[in-house]
Amino acid sequence: MIARSFLAVVGAAYALLAVWCALLPRNTSRSIGYDLQPGGGQSEYFVVYGGLQIALGLIFLAPLVRPEYTMPSLDACLLIHGILVLMRTISFFLYPGIGSTTYFLAASEWVIFLGSALVWWRAA
């Protein structure tokens, strides 16, 4: 039950973020330092920050309707956020001038990674 609840919160956060990015791409992209170029840049942002995040949200929300998806969704959550934390940490050493929104995203990724690791460890 804890795993499903945790995944539901993560999934809802991804779904909300996806909708926010898809509906207000100019605002959200600027907050993380992106300059959306007309056409291709707008399309890429809409697909990756809207579409991919919706897909991730659905993966994490799936156990609410299919409890047998709990462990596969938790595995995915742990893997995805472990890689995000690794790459984000490396990026902090590679790139100067990182803004506060990016630090907030990094903190969120760490919380989700550590939370999923703890929930995974308790569920395994």
Asked if residue 46 has pLDDT above 90, the reply is yes
Closest CA to 10 of 114, 103, 121: 114
Measured between alpha carbons, how far is 56 from 102 in angstroms, rounded to an integer? 19
Q: Which two tokens stand for residue 20?
A: 């926010």
Q: Report the C-alpha dihedral over residues 113, 116, 122, 124, rounded to 10 degrees.
A: -110
118 φ/ψ angles, rounded to the nearest 5 degrees? -65, -45
Measured between alpha carbons, how far is 7 from 116 in angstroms, rounded to an integer? 8
Q: Which two tokens stand for residue 46?
A: 């809409």
What pTM was estimated for this model as a whole? 0.92
Question: Hey, CA dihedral for 57, 109, 9, 18, is it positive or negative?
Answer: negative
Instruction: Compute the average pLDDT of residues 13-41.
Output: 92
Asked if residue 62 has pLDDT above 90, the reply is yes
Give Cα separations from 45 to 7, 12, 87 (angstroms).
25, 20, 19
Instruction: Compute the average pLDDT of residues 83-112.
Output: 96
CB atoms closer than 10 angstroms to residue 87 = 10
Instruction: Compute the average pLDDT of residues 48-60.
Output: 96
Instruction: Compute the average pLDDT of residues 50-61.
Output: 97
Instruction: Compute the average pLDDT of residues 80-102.
Output: 96
> If you ran DSSP here, which 8-state letter would residue 122 be given?
H
